[in-house]
Amino acid sequence: MPYLEHRLTRRVLFYETDLAGIVHFSCYLRYMEEAEHALWRAAGLTIAPPDHSIGFPRVSVTCEYAAPLYFEDEFEVHVRIDKLGPRTIHYAHVLTRGTTKVATGTIITACVIPAPGQRPRASEIPPAIVARLRGDN
């Protein structure tokens, strides 16, 4: 079954670079997360509702670097949902600068219900969210 995907275009900011003008490795994870949040917004959702009734912490993250990004480079992050399980969402990311692949990565999140003063407990992803992420608007 096909799931949603989204493309986020962005420019490297100065504070994301090191003294050589190369993007710090940790920024790639932020770029992947930005694209994930943009995908949710495009589906009419938010990953962090104001009432904090549900959460999606990361349980696994990978990133394979292929080429550097530099200050003021414009690049694209393509994110797609690879798998939508009852309690988890698996995202695949490809970062490109023009025709150059910069990095690939994955994020796996788990659906949790926060409980004040307690550890969050795993929960099934609500059907309304599943429908939106499938593009069933």
65 neighbors 25 (Cβ within 8 angstroms): yes
Query: What is the tally of structural domains in the chain?
Result: 1
Asked whether the whole model's pTM tops 0.85, one would answer yes
Catalytic (active site) residue 73: no
Model confidence at 80, pLDDT cuts 50, 70, 90, reads: very high
Model confidence at 1, pLDDT cuts 50, 70, 90, reads: low
**Structural tokens at position 124:** 């099934």
Helix (H) or strand (E) holding 96: strand 88-97
pLDDT tens-digit readout, 121-132: 899 999 999 999
**What confidence score (pLDDT) does residue 137 get?**
63
**21-30, 67-76, 117-126 — which is least confidently predicted?**
117-126
Domain that holds residue 100: 5-134
CATH of the domain at 116: 3.10.129.10
Helix (H) or strand (E) holding 136: none
